[in-house]
Structure 1
Amino acid sequence: MTVLSRLVIARRWWVVGAWVVLAALGGFAAPRATDRLSFDFGLPGQPGYETNVDILKTFGSGGIGAPVLLVVGNGQETVAADTAAPIAETVRATVPGARVATYTDDPDLLSGDRKTGVVMVYPIPVESEQPYAPALAALRPAAERLSGEIGLQVSVTGRDALNFTEDDAGGSALVETLFGGIGAAVVLSLVFGSFLALMPLIIAAASILTTFLLLWGLTGLTDVSFVVQYLLALIGLGVAIDYALLLVTRWREERGQGATPEEAVRLAMSTAGRSVLFSGITVAVSLAALIAMPVPFMRSVGYTGLLIPVISVAASLTLLPALLLVGGHHLSWPHRRSTDPESRLWRGVGTVVVRHRWLSAIVSALVLIAMAVPSFGLRLGQPTNDTLAAGSGASATAIERLAGQGPGSGLSAPIEILTASPDTIVQKLETTDGVGGVVAPEEWRSEQGQYVIDVWTQTDANSRSGARTARQIRDAAEDLGARVGGIPAQDEDFVSSVYGDAWWILLLIVAITFGLLAVALRSIVLPAKALLLNVISLGAAFGVTVFIWQGGHGTGLLFDRDPAGALTVWLPIAIFAFLFGLSMDYEVFLLSRIKEEHDAGHSTDEATVHGVARTGRLVSSAALILFLAFVSLSQIPTTDVKILATGLALGIIIDATIVRGVLAPALVAALGPVNWWWPGKNWG
């Protein structure tokens, strides 16, 4: 840090100029990078995915894409069989090239009481976050016309129709980032009481734009998922502000003690700067672990996750001190806050926690364990129809009619079977318990003699019973030599390929993180404790997320959605990677300050109280900024993104309050001199 400080002090204007150029290039690159993002969630090498690829290649539609469903009837009148022909004719004219199956040719698409009929449509998808957007835009007005022509209500529904409504403009990374930035500006103005609040925002802007520049280059080398634009913008905003907040706070503290601007930079870099460096490396390691996943989509999240903290650290350790030297003294106006970082509130908290260390540790641990209990019931899957159908629109009402006397709720996500011998498979599956129906239209035959058979479960394929039936269907079809695709099969392969080998990736993250923290803190016990607390914190975050989204406690109030019934298969590993790194930031901030106070001659108890008092406001403010960023992320209309934002927001708040505010200092105080054990060094 000494060499870097000297370089920045001596070349401050060059540093500022270099970052201005990078940010400008990033502004140029950002829209180009987002235009090149991928919408593929593929699993190369996995049988379900490869079958889906072949179905899409051979027939032009289907596979991983769920069908659009035209539900005919209102549940009151009998649906005449001859009404299907004009519907199918209109669909084929409206959506050229689509695969279509009707209740005239396939009676399984007609309800038992003959009051609900379904026309299945597999449009040709487009490369977009909403692959059926053009088809849905054309089918909705066509359905309204058909309702008048045939005298029966025709409603467009299905998973895509429910996920993206007509009025849904989709999420904008720029809009959500601006929302998060406004929240961050309010928090920072309260923390600093001066124009120094602008510094972290400038660092965040430079970091985000520069990361977009690198992302643009990355898109030329590999596919990068469209999801990363939201993660890059909002998590980049939070992480960069966190690091800048720590460094600016320490610089202001040193200035308040009489240091010159150059001396304040050197002292801040040698203390807070060191913490920022190790924190950033820890976050990068946890997110880089996603690169080892056998899923291109997750790897692209890992690449971007690696870039976010690296660029944020670089900006915080170079651009920020340069800006502080150039204009920091001017921005200290109107100086409505003391330069002393110690908070009376957090000193009181630290004093109580240290005085009642064992009680504090036990009570906080029990609270966290209670929060974590629901995580043991975690289910992996897609959101259920009920979750997607939150609201009172025609699409929501229509999909509800698939249940009960209807063709079956699983029709929204059928299993697609590719075979050259359909008759035997159809006969076998029609007698399988839990099967809602089987369709195999003659027109779903390729020139090479391959057929696609669609089979669906009576209950929702994403419910427990539906998932069991889907597994039985797949086993039966594969036993007869067929290949099985569709959403249920690809999700099952995702769980097997990602979570089957996740243990060694987790061990690698833990080992590397332990080594980094041991070097940073010069202790064996403190890193071990930090990792243990991270596990407890993650468990609590997962538990509350499962309680809300899977158990349905608060989804209506908070998000106007029904419970998901499961967490989408990629979410737990993504939540773990981001939370593990981000929450470790606060552990490093706290423990580094406690160690600094201990090295200055204070006892462990005194150092702990000082550490809590001097980082409490910082950590709580940083956590609030990240929380607001994730609240912004939750405005994205996709259910998966809402669940991700929920897990991250809850995890950050739990970690910054219960864990870092109570449990961590209580354990440090309880362990006393043991905290400072290092091979070859005396305790004390």
Structure 2
Amino acid sequence: MRSWRTSEVGALSRAYAWLVVKLRLLVVLGWAAGIVAAVAWLPGSAPDAGLNGFAPPNSRAIATETASAKAFGFPILSRTVIVQRDAHGLSQPAQQRVVERAVAVAKGTAGDVGPIAGVIPVANTKGVFPSSSEQGTTALTYVFTKPGTSFVEEVAAAGRFANEHMNQPDDHVVGVTGTVPAQLAQSEILYGHLPLLEGATLLVIIGLVAFRFRSIVAPLVALVTAAASYFLAVRVTDYVGGFVQGGVPEQLKPLVLALVLGIVTDYAIFFLSSMRTGLDDGLDRLTAAKMSAAQTGRIVLVAGIAVAAGTASMLVARSGFFRAFGPVLSLSVLTAVAVSVTLLPALLAIFGRALFWPTRRAKADRSAPVARAAARLLTVRVVALVLAGACVVGLAVLGTGADRLRLGVSFVAALPSDSQPQSAARAAASGFAPGIVAPTELLLQGRDVGSDPQKLARLGSELQHQPGVAGVVSPSALPDELAHDALVTRSGDAARFLVILEHDPLDATAISDVEHLSLSLPGLLQRAGIEGAHYGLAGDTAVAGELVAATNADLRRIAIAVLVVNLILLMVFLRAVVAPVLLLGCSVLALAASLGCLSLVFQDRLGHDGVAFYVPFAASVLLLSLGSDYNIYGVGHVWTRADHTPLRKAIAERIPETSGAITAAGVTLAASFAMLALVPLRQFRELAFVMGLGVLIDALVVRSVLVPALLTLLGRFSAWPRRLRGAAVTRPPARRPSTAPDPGT
């Protein structure tokens, strides 16, 4: 029997282990009291960032939209649209009523329309909208509400208007669509599926931990710790969210769930594995718990700090949407770590051998001899070279697809096909073009810029022939009585055009088309003979383009910050330079492979125009941080052992022990992220795929094969400038030749 004091840990780790085991009952009661206090004093929800959270700071598109509304006295862009459609053709009375309703609202004779300030009708009647894909089948009513109206109130008012004023049999109302209704529909789907996501994730945790330890009690300990961590993390982050400017993006809520439950279960597996080893070595309940806490607690603490510091690096982003990711995810991880390093050892000490009931003693793992033989084989330099080369080449090939990722900001396209905003958007696209739901506005301002109809007509024609443009509503295309005030000011100092795109206005292709249009505008204005005019683009596509550009810039800043933070933590923990650089390089390679597979599956195979703009962003930060998590656990054990034995022997001894725990933890964490696919929104399925695959690549390929192989190839140089005490232990000195006769002669 060995004493836990002889384990390869320091005095501080032993003191922590002794304290948490000694006060085990107080620890459990303390966290129970903490949960009660959180219920009493911390909020159960946080302000949501809403649509405004997606706008980049100092948005030129939003400034242009504001200038347009100020110059004309009213906006021309609406984000809530009522769609009517009959594939066989809307009747003439139905089309006439579309205009009459708008006039009634303008004159105030439509009755109580709530917060609706005005509506603008557009029908694909012959000659009115020449670029329509059909004629006489579809009518749109763009809804404008009074200042201060919330999104919920706006969509509700549009729904009531449709029910009360479009209730004739031949009106054929399809529904309400647009950016705002789609955003609210996503919120409803998200919150509606959150209980299912929570329940399914907890069941997965129970099943995987039960399978790993062949126990009924062990998964319950993991479940209690994970549930407590998640509950407290949500309460803490909701409280902090009240101080985050613009609110907290609701897309974070499922991500917090998957991250917290996943990493806490990982930590539970690490603690339980160490506890079972101690019990099987003959240690008593309390001594085994102390040994588990001393050996695993410091690794879990440093690993958790690495993840928290990596996510906190998002604070260097300029976009408020991404800056909210940093404190929320970081505080969630820190809360989970605080619970894990105290509650888990306390529960281990309380339950002891009962943790692994009904298994009295760990059965001999039939695969253990194979794992040990494979680890020894891995320390053969030729084998290590072949395996390392194969891993690097394979991951690099998969990573080539990462450069082809396109970013979009789709709200409508991300919804299930049977949702009302999606159905209404398809109907509008069939009657006009996909971009009709959210047109792009071109605003011209300057002295007499709108006084020459011929120049405006030439500019409209030039716009019509730009790539990705389905149609243009220009001042010259409308009668003078409609063009004036709506598209040209009375003074002639401002004019505006509506550009209808051929693609979903928030998809990657449409964003690229508007970017091309923006770059082409100086030449288009020159060819039209319009000189000295200030111009700007407004609308959802223009805002999305700015957001994608800001995301790419933020991603570079965040990547540098995350890499530096994780590199410093690895250097401090491992007290080395070469190995941390090597480990971080492996993490980057695994991340590139994951993003390449994301592009291959969703863009090449499923035909999506792009992926949600924040999916590669969140995946990059989390996978790099979680890679350091596994680095610290796996290499930390090897390093500790290498202070007592040669490095190759330490690798051969520790890799079989740690790879099993890392594999189980990786599968559990991957399954936790995979549960995000239960939310029927495209961005969560993209996130579920890339995070689940990324964690599996990291756990099964990088940490179990590539890292040990590279450490074998580099040998003691990997620890530079640290000197591993065990590295000096080499083969025994060769014996001097004996002069005695050979017994066989």
Return the offset for 1:380: 1.8
Does the Cα contact within 8 Å between 1:102 and 1:120 map onto a contact in 2? yes
- Counterpart-to-counterpart distance in 2, 1:505 and 1:667: 27
Query: Aligned ranges for residues 76-87 of structure 1 at < 5 Å?
Result: 76-77=88-89, 83-87=94-98
SS in 2 for 1:174: helix
Distance 1:160 1:10, change over 3 A: same
- Counterpart-to-counterpart distance in 1, 2:240 and 2:647: 47
Distance 1:680 1:593, change over 3 A: closer
Q: Report the equivalent of 1:546.
A: 599
Return the offset for 1:679: 4.5
Task: Tell me whether 1:219 sits opposite 2:241 in the alignment.
Answer: yes
1:675 pairs, out of 695, 699, 718, with 718
Does the Cα contact within 8 Å between 1:234 and 1:633 map onto a contact in 2? yes
Distance 1:3 1:89, change over 3 A: farther
Return the offset for 1:239: 1.2
Q: TM-score, normalised by structure 2?
A: 0.79
SS in 2 for 1:488: helix
Does the Cα contact within 8 Å between 1:99 and 1:444 map onto a contact in 2? no
Residue identity matched to 1:416: E
Residue identity matched to 1:672: G
Does the Cα contact within 8 Å between 1:143 and 1:156 map onto a contact in 2? no
- Counterpart-to-counterpart distance in 1, 2:158 and 2:608: 23
Return the offset for 1:269: 2.7
- Counterpart-to-counterpart distance in 1, 2:427 and 2:564: 52
1:187 pairs, out of 208, 218, 221, with 208
* Identity in percent: 21
Distance 1:446 1:34, change over 3 A: farther
Does the Cα contact within 8 Å between 2:61 and 2:542 map onto a contact in 1? yes
- Counterpart-to-counterpart distance in 1, 2:366 and 2:565: 32
Return the offset for 1:324: 2.0
- Counterpart-to-counterpart distance in 2, 1:268 and 1:244: 11
Query: Aligned ranges for residues 557-596 of structure 1 at < 5 Å?
Result: 563-596=607-640
Q: TM-score, normalised by structure 1?
A: 0.85
Q: CA RMSD in A?
A: 3.8
Q: Report the equivalent of 1:282.
A: 306
Per-residue deviation, residues 335-360 of structure 1 (Å, max 9, x unmatched):
26618899526445534544421221
Per-residue deviation, residues 243-277 of structure 1 (Å, max 9, x unmatched):
22212221222232233333333322332112111
- Counterpart-to-counterpart distance in 2, 1:472 and 1:18: 60
Distance 1:426 1:234, change over 3 A: farther
Query: Aligned ranges for residues 12-411 of structure 1 at < 5 Å?
Result: 12-27=24-39, 32-34=43-45, 36-39=47-50, 40-51=53-64, 66-68=79-81, 70-74=83-87, 76-77=88-89, 83-87=94-98, 96-97=116-117, 99-103=119-123, 107-108=128-129, 111=132, 113-122=134-143, 124=145, 127=150, 134=156, 137-138=159-160, 145-146=167-168, 148-150=169-171, 157-158=177-178, 169-171=189-191, 172-194=193-215, 195-222=217-244, 223-335=247-359, 338=362, 344=368, 346-347=371-372, 349-355=374-380, 356-383=383-410, 388=414, 391=417, 399=425, 407-411=432-436
**Higher Cα radius of gyration:** 2
Does the Cα contact within 8 Å between 2:258 and 2:676 map onto a contact in 1? yes
Q: Report the equivalent of 1:524.
A: 577
Q: Report the equivalent of 1:607.
A: 650
Does the Cα contact within 8 Å between 1:579 and 1:648 map onto a contact in 2? yes
Distance 1:501 1:233, change over 3 A: closer
Does the Cα contact within 8 Å between 1:170 and 1:636 map onto a contact in 2? yes
Residue identity matched to 1:220: G
SS in 2 for 1:526: helix
Q: Report the equivalent of 1:558.
A: none
Q: Report the equivalent of 1:534.
A: 587
Does the Cα contact within 8 Å between 1:71 and 1:156 map onto a contact in 2? no
SS in 2 for 1:97: strand
Q: Report the equivalent of 1:660.
A: 703
Return the offset for 1:610: 2.7
- Counterpart-to-counterpart distance in 2, 1:37 and 1:254: 47
Q: Report the equivalent of 1:507.
A: 560
Does the Cα contact within 8 Å between 2:312 and 2:329 map onto a contact in 1? yes
- Counterpart-to-counterpart distance in 1, 2:184 and 2:373: 49
- Counterpart-to-counterpart distance in 2, 1:252 and 1:61: 68
Gaps of 5+ in 2: 1-12, 475-481, 526-532, 729-745
SS in 1 for 2:435: helix
Q: Report the equivalent of 1:650.
A: 693
- Counterpart-to-counterpart distance in 2, 1:29 and 1:631: 33
Distance 1:389 1:598, change over 3 A: closer
Return the offset for 1:397: 6.8
- Counterpart-to-counterpart distance in 2, 1:467 and 1:286: 30
Return the offset for 1:20: 0.9
Distance 1:513 1:104, change over 3 A: closer
Residue identity matched to 1:438: V
Does the Cα contact within 8 Å between 1:163 and 1:638 map onto a contact in 2? no
Does the Cα contact within 8 Å between 1:284 and 1:306 map onto a contact in 2? yes
Does the Cα contact within 8 Å between 2:562 and 2:625 map onto a contact in 1? no
Does the Cα contact within 8 Å between 1:37 and 1:225 map onto a contact in 2? yes
- Counterpart-to-counterpart distance in 1, 2:100 and 2:703: 64
Return the offset for 1:236: 0.8
SS in 1 for 2:534: coil
Residue range with higher mean Cα deviation, 88-97 or 38-47: 88-97
Return the offset for 1:532: 0.6
Return the offset for 1:536: 0.6
Residue identity matched to 2:401: P
Return the offset for 1:535: 0.7
- Counterpart-to-counterpart distance in 2, 1:357 and 1:418: 63
SS in 2 for 1:586: helix
Q: Would you say how many aligned residue pairs link Structure 1 and Structure 2? A: 665
